[in-house]
Amino acid sequence: MAYQRLGSEVELQTVTQKPTPDRKQDFNQVETSTPTTPYTPYPQHPQHIAAQSATNSRWIQWSKIKGCKVGILGGAISCTVVFIVNLIFTIIAISNGHLEGGIGTLRDGDCDHIRSDSSGIHLAINILSTILLASSNYCMQCLSAPTRDEVDKAHSERFWLDIGVPSFRNFRKMRKIKFALWLCLVSSSLPLHLFFNSAVFTSLAAFGYDVVSISPASLAQNDTGTVISNFESEQAKLLLRKARAGNLTFLANANCIQAYAEVFQTSHSNLVLVTDAEIPRMVANLDVYQPELGSSYSVTAQPYYWMCLGLDNFSTTKSYYPDAPLCQSRVPELKSSPSEWKVGDDKVSYCLSETPPSHCKLQYSLNFAVIILLVNLIKAAIMYYTAFALKGDPLVTTGDAIASFLHRPDETTLRRSLLKRVDAQKPDYSPAGPIAFEGKRERMSSAASKTRWFFCIFWQVMRVHSPFHVADHPLTSFGTGLVVTIVLLIYGITQMTGAKDASTLWGMGVGAISQETLIKGDDFPTTITTNAFIANAPQPIFSFLYFSYNSLFTTMTLAQEWSQFAIHRKGLRVSANRTGVQRSSHFLSLPYRYSLPMMAASAVLHWLISQSLFLVVVQAYQSDFYRRENYDIVTCGYSPIAIIFSISLAGLMLVVLIALGYFRLKSAMPVAGSCSVMIAAACHPAGWEGADIAGKKLMWGVIDVEDGVRRCGFSGGEVGTPEVGKTYY
């Protein structure tokens, strides 16, 4: 072997020498001692070749997972784990049996234990749904982020795209497959909002009960036949026998009022009032409360009306006192002086209460569970496909776009470094050439147009067909949602009977069942599926409202980050292929100091909305503890105080958004927002900049002199400060 020098570069090349004649024999000796079987570095078996090819293919696939696709893959794995958990739960639930009409029973027993189990399961459901929705939203934002090729194509057609924010407009110029995947993720989120929380629910066991009044002397008589004969009801007679036998629970007046002032009686049933009555009598015989009868003129249609029979201006016929408050609003009067409590003319000394068997149920809907499994599987499949099969590296952050445009400048925006928003809307990006620097520090709100602000706050959906209009988003109005909610709240309060003051509304509690706020009507649906749909309908609506809110909020924070490049040097925040001093992106667009409070506010608001309108399922029992299916209740209830809290928090979020918009940006650098055209216009580096400019700490300013006119842009070297009134390319 020998080596020779080639050209001016030092290169080593192997040269094969032929043996000389005088070394012929030696060569032959060496040649004959050399094995004749050729060396094969790898076995040539077809199975080995196939396995090696598959290994190489897998390596190529995994090597493509970078940037936001790493997060998408993580989301896909999370969705798979959630799917397995949901599948195991569904299999266990079905194996327990007790399935009737698509509704299964997980547990039947003590109401306190059932409520505790329900709280734990719903906490787990909220955690799982949060994982699914967060993973889905991450993938959706990556799908809506354009690649550089898509940006170039859009710019060639004089159409700008959004960079760094959730965007609808981008899909007008992007591949159809990305929009189809995005649409599938959106569609699969809808059933999660509508049915996941109602997949497991609690059904209350409510008992009708008898109320009898008897004196201590009559209760203590040895000859019980005379006393009991005063009652026609066999149940009342049985109740008195239990009282004499000591099988009832003693309740002081205050505890008795507290225990029986309930719309649906779940923990107590038949009641003996020990009073000063001379003759034992039946005070009331109550069935389980029926909401559709609650608006009738008969006060006896109201629950626990009997408590207030001794109060002034209270009648069993509302026509006598049409403006008189119902017993519900007068319970505080009874609680304030329990020792003076009268039922009719009988002064109550104490109560004896019968404890019913616990029949609360923790139930699930098999139909809802199957729907959740399907959408869970769909989300996971879409995320795996996006991570492994979808081509192209999206420009997820503003830093990604800057790095790309610095590496390969956009020709359509050349000589327009001070391009303004109004100019970006023109078909030819005019004017081309020097533009005067105004030097005005804009407010953060200027990152979005006034039209976008107006339609985001006051109108439901807007679409302007100007190709470069900043407000070209189908934005759902955050303000309109508030207005509609306020109108519905006012309507709900006006439909209530009795007192409507603030103390009464507060006394109803958050998410608590009240006879005044159960939705009534012969035409109102009575199936669990329909009522669950109604109860959860506000959730996807709020999510869509939050999408527009988050988009506008993100646009302003991007403008703030952008403006800081004119003040001090910093590395670009990129999602993939980090080089030099570039920073990794721990979030897609919104900094943690904004995103974490927004996520917390969103979670609280979702919970308040769930307490504002909720599913009510009641299974009715008679006073003798036998089932009375025709009195079962499936409806929705609403909580005025929860609605008020929801409006207050949503209003506060809107105020924060508007207040943030009034802050001034850090510099007078032209506001790009999320506009790809304006970002590209600032990314035409000077000729002396190296190819690694994107990996340096960058600053925006005057970077070059061209034919006597200076240019503004990003640079890794020294930059000048633009002067007000002077023109720049």
3-class SS shares of the chain: helix, strand, coil, % to 5 = 50, 15, 35
235 in a domain, yes or no? yes
pLDDT of residue 200: 87
The total of other beta-carbon atoms located within 10 Å of residue 24's CB is 10
pLDDT of residue 610: 81
Range of the domain at 19: 2-26
Q: How many residues does the chain have?
A: 729
Query: Which residues does 380 contact at the CB level (< 8 Å), separation at least 6?
Result: 76, 79, 80, 83
Domain final position from 344, 360, 376: 360
227 in a domain, yes or no? yes
First vs last Cα of the chain: how many Å apart?
61
638 in a domain, yes or no? no
517 in a domain, yes or no? no
Pairing of strands 346-353, 249-251: antiparallel
Which portions of the chain are predicted below pLDDT 70? Answer: 1-66, 221-233, 290-301, 313-325, 422, 425-432, 449-452, 454-482, 495-501, 503-504, 507-509, 511-515, 521-522, 585-589, 705-709
298 in a domain, yes or no? yes
pLDDT of residue 22: 46
Determine the Cα–Cα distance for residues 622 and 625; give it in Å rounded to an integer.
Answer: 5
pLDDT of residue 698: 95
Based on the structure, what is the number of domains in the chain? 2
pLDDT of residue 21: 44
Q: Where are the beta strands (DSSP E) in 71-193?
A: 99-100, 103-109
552 in a domain, yes or no? no
Q: Which two tokens stand for residue 705?
A: 């002199």
CA 187 to chain centre: 14
pLDDT of residue 64: 61
pLDDT of residue 39: 41
310 in a domain, yes or no? yes
Instruction: Dump pLDDT digits (tens) for 21-66.
Output: 444 444 344 334 444 444 444 445 555 545 555 444 444 454 566 6
Determine the Cα–Cα distance for residues 198 and 396; give it in Å rounded to an integer.
Answer: 35
DSSP conformation letters of 645-661: HHHHHHHHHHHHHHHHH
The total of other beta-carbon atoms located within 10 Å of residue 65's CB is 12
Query: Which residues does 596 contact at the CB level (< 8 Å), separation at least 6?
Result: none
- pTM of the predicted structure, to 2 decimals: 0.73
Domain final position from 307, 339, 360: 360
CA 563 to chain centre: 31
The total of other beta-carbon atoms located within 10 Å of residue 255's CB is 15
The residues that bridge with 715 in the sheet, in sequence order, are: 699
Closest CA to 155 of 467, 559, 551: 467
Determine the Cα–Cα distance for residues 537 and 542; give it in Å rounded to an integer.
Answer: 9
CA 207 to chain centre: 37
Angle of CA points 46, 48, 51, to nearest 5°: 110
Closest CA to 558 of 418, 404, 395: 395
318 in a domain, yes or no? yes
Which three-class secondary structure state does DSSP give residue 420? coil
DSSP 8-state code for residue 672: -
Domain final position from 330, 360, 390: 360
Contact yes or no for 364/180 (Cβ under 8 A): no
